[in-house]
Amino acid sequence: MAILDRKELEQSPLADLHAIASELGIEGYRRLRREELIDALLAGAGDGAGGEPEAGGEPAAEAEPEAEAEPEPEAEPERAAEPERAAEAADESEPEPEPEDVRSGTLDILPNGSGFMRPDPYAHSRDDVYVSPAQIRRCELRPGDEIAGPVRGPRRSERYPSLIHVETVNGQSADPPPERKRFEDLTPVFASERLTSTEGLEAAPFGKGSRVAVGGPPGSGVTTLLRRIALTLAASHPDVDVTVLLAGIRPEEVTEWRRDSEVAVVGGGFDRPVDEQAQAADAVIERAKRRAESGGHAALVLDSLDALPPQAARRVFGAARALEEGGSITVIAATGADDAQRLATTRIVLEAGDAGPHPPSLAPGSGTLRADRLD
């Protein structure tokens, strides 16, 4: 556990102090006054000097006050959960409920610093579990982390169950490692490990970490080709976490994707709000980054890149890379944008024609940068 800091504790909600006390095994902590509780937490963590580090440790950083949560859209009512927990402090005599069970999920961090552990990383539900800002800071959690821990049921002033403490992060101990890799600090290189592709794409190969732009005139079979690519990747590369992200396509095609694909399908058609599609894209990419940081591989098949807001599209397409230190993110996206075609490492341009079961016909301009590096 990270060193506790008195100023940070003084700025934390009472519910967070109780969560820390429960984790430290402090007896009778609910009967203590706030200052007594803080003294007990510092003593229990071996930090009775109130902010001085343990032997050999570095001075704890002074925490800034938590920002007020901005009003959230009605489509996401759980983002108002943090203010509701203030009522929890009014009844210190309420007995501590027993943990319901141990649950796991993917962390979604909100703008106010709190978060939710979601069983489905790409959808909100009543099974989501509230995670306090103190736990997120203490374990140095990031969006897309896979976390697990014991959960208690919601009290009368709450709508969601709460995580009592974090037991594991991405399958490892909840204690943050001395130096956790950060995606943005790792070295991007051209792909060198070829991925199995569908018939007809021999002139435009791609690998783990490629940024692939797929384009063509209407009726050329771009969506059909993407579906084949997704199924081929899932069947041929069990070490690659394949996700399909849909944005701005026909609702009927969404149905076909969900019925025909054996991989996770996220997002929806052009009738869905643009902000909702951007949030789904960010969730997919953050989860892929966490996998790549730890040396794993992720692939995103996107139909289509052009339907996302420009900033979201750049974040998604720009995340594709092979990392010199280990993992990779591959993005294969339908797009007609000149900028995306220019920034791609592999361009697949289809000839006009009937989209049938036959291999695709590639137009001039298709090809791969540094194709010689692909083994």
Per-residue pLDDT tens over the stretch 272-329? 999 999 999 999 999 999 999 999 999 999 999 999 999 999 999 999 999 999 899 9
Where does the pLDDT of residue 98 fall: very low under 50, low under 70, confident under 90, or very high at 90 and above?
Answer: low
For the segment 145-171, what is each residue's pLDDT rounded down to a tens digit? Answer: 999 999 999 988 888 999 999 999 999
Q: What's this model's pTM, rounded to 2 decimal places?
A: 0.74
CA–CA gap between residue 151 and residue 329 (Å, rounded): 32
pLDDT at 257 over 60: yes
For 12, 121, 242, 301, 369, the CA distances from 257, given in Å and listed in that order, are: 45, 19, 14, 11, 30
**Of 6, 89, 90, nearest to 40 (Cα)?**
6
Q: Are 153 and 100 in contact (CB under 8 A)?
A: yes
In percent, how much of the chain has pLDDT > 70? 83
DSSP code at position 332: E
Q: Are 197 and 330 in contact (CB under 8 A)?
A: no
User: For residue 133, what pLDDT is reported?
Assistant: 94
pLDDT at 63 over 80: no
User: Could you tell me which residue, 150 or 45, shows the higher pLDDT?
Assistant: 150
For 50, 84, 204, 275, 344, the CA distances from 195, given in Å and listed in that order, are: 54, 49, 11, 32, 16
Which amino acid appears at position 190 of this protein?
F
pLDDT at 93 over 50: no
**Hey, what are 29's tokens?**
């902590």
CA–CA gap between residue 260 and residue 263 (Å, rounded): 9
For 7, 17, 94, 323, the CA distances from 33, given in Å and listed in that order, are: 16, 11, 14, 50
**Hey, what are 6's tokens?**
């008195």
User: For residue 61, what pLDDT is reported?
Assistant: 37
Domains of the chain plus CATH, in order, are: 6-55+78-173 (2.40.50.140), 188-373 (3.40.50.300)
State the burial class of residue 310 (Cβ atoms within 10 Å of its Cβ: 0-12, 13-18, 19+). Answer: exposed
Q: Which of 4-18, 201-215, 263-277 has the lowest mean pLDDT?
A: 4-18
CA–CA gap between residue 122 and residue 145 (Å, rounded): 13
- Range 15-37 average pLDDT: 78
Report the chain's terminal Cα–Cα distance, integer Å: 43
For the segment 173-196, what is each residue's pLDDT rounded down to a tens digit? Answer: 888 777 889 999 999 999 999 999
Q: Which of 82-96, 110-124, 211-225 has the lowest mean pLDDT?
A: 82-96
Residue-by-residue DSSP string for 51-100: SPPPTTPPPPPPPPPPPPPPP--TT-GGGGHHHHGGGGGG-TTSPPPPP-
Which amino acid appears at position 18 of this protein?
H
| 3-class secondary-structure state, position 146 | strand
